Amino acid sequence: MTIIESNAEINLPVAQVYQFLADMNNHQQLMPENIYNWSSTADTASFTIQNMAKLAIHISEKVENERLVAVPTEKPPFDLSLAWSVKENGSGTTATLTISADLNMMMKMLAAGPLQKLADHQTTKLKEVLG
């Protein structure tokens, strides 16, 4: 399993950051420019990644003010999960995005870089949007 992580420090209470992340409609604001055909509800999102794939995800696990996990609703080319965790850090909240992907060696060489860029982009945008 390939694990990719990125985090951001946000000067807001955990509950406020969690509420934003718990609504998939808000995640469009965190996506890079190569994401299009976005469609979402509070618990689901579907979108197309330019030159790659169409992906539909739904929130499969929620732990109030702690953790959210989103997984594909249809079988993707490889098993994947996107997990957000939020923790109090004294001056606000640390939000961490963890992408877990079951990649073979070839897929890891192709996908690890773009997945890390996606994770970093989302945490940077989260800080901008909520900052």
pLDDT in tens, 51-67: 777 889 999 999 999 99
Q: pLDDT value at position 50?
A: 79
User: Which has the higher per-residue pLDDT, 102 or 131?
Assistant: 102
Q: What integer is the mean pLDDT of 29-40?
A: 94
* Rounded Cα distance, 83 and 22, in Å: 11
Mean confidence (pLDDT) of the chain: 93
Residue spans per domain, the chain: 2-130
The C-alpha angle with vertex 63 and arms to 6 and 114, in degrees rounded to 5, equals 25
Please give the model's pTM, rounded to 2 decimal places: 0.92
Q: For the domain made up of 2-130, give the CATH fold.
A: Alpha-D-Glucose-1,6-Bisphosphate; Chain A, domain 4 (3.30.530)
